[in-house]
């Protein structure tokens, strides 16, 4: 079964809007694990608009499933990885000012740089994943830089799924098949929700993990966090 990692950035966004520690990202991380999620994802941006650096260090002490830290591999991010040693580091190419991750790495143009970064992270005993778009030559480039996994950027899939699921999944299936052939693990994330998740994992059943935050937290406002986690796990089954 594809594993569910819950991105708790939006919990921190809500907390930061008022100050204080309500809701507590530590408590929510413990709860999503208790409710059945197999991982916790955070993206500590430099401006700390949601997850703060302190949050990451606090979460290190309590996350008992898989801890996945996303981010742009600048000096700050690399120091966090050295200190925390999460289970997985997911590299995203977006600079600090963007609202959310909106593109994947060009693994061909950035081959030398990414190779060095991947080697450094793997030397820390951390599994590596890089955020990519569903293009076969990009997947081939990912294999050349030595990453353990890719994370398929699924915004285009989620948008196109509303009109034609078959067309929406086409490039993703080709990319996933190529990754599998090359021995690269596959994650997926961005705009996945209860409407499009099941079809994705039915068509690409060898996806290792999905990272879901925004839609899941929004659903939890209506269904409750525990029930929402179970609803998403049901889609993955």
- SS3 label, residue 132: strand
CB 173 within 8 A of CB 204: yes
Distance CA 125, CA 152 (A): 23
Among 33, 70, 151, 235, the active-site one is: 70
Distance CA 167, CA 115 (A): 33
Distance CA 85, CA 61 (A): 11
Residue 120 annotated in active site: no
Residue 140 annotated in active site: no
DSSP state of 196: T
Residue 61 annotated in active site: no
Among 33, 66, 161, 190, the active-site one is: 190
Nearest CA to 45 out of 105, 6, 101 is that of: 101
Among 33, 43, 66, 133, the active-site one is: 43
Catalytic residues: 43, 70, 190
């Amino acid at each position: 079964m594809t594993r569910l990692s819950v991105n708790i950035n939006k919990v921190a966004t809500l907390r930061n809007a008022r100050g204080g520690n309500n809701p507590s990202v530590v408590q929510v991380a413990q709860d999503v694990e208790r409710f059945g999620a197999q991982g916790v994802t955070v993206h500590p941006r430099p401006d700390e608009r949601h997850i703060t650096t302190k949050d990451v260090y606090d979460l290190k002490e309590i996350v008992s499933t898989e801890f996945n830290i996303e981010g742009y591999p600048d000096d700050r991010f690399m120091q966090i990885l050295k200190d925390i040693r999460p289970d997985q580091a997911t590299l995203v190419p977006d600079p600090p000012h963007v609202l959310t991750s909106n593109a994947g790495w060009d693994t061909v143009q950035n081959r030398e740089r990414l190779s060095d970064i991947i080697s450094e992270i793997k030397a820390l005993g951390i599994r590596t994943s890089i955020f990519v778009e569903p293009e076969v030559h990009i997947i081939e480039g990912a294999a050349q830089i030595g990453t353990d996994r890719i994370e398929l950027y699924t915004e285009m899939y989620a948008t196109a799924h509303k009109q034609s699921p078959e067309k929406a999944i086409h490039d993703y299936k080709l990319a996933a098949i190529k990754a599998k052939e090359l021995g690269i693990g596959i994650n997926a994330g961005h705009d996945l929700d209860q409407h499009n998740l099941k079809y994705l994992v039915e068509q690409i059943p060898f996806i290792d993990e999905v990272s879901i935050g925004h839609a899941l937290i929004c659903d939890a406002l209506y269904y409750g966090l525990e029930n929402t986690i179970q609803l998403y796990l049901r889609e993955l089954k």
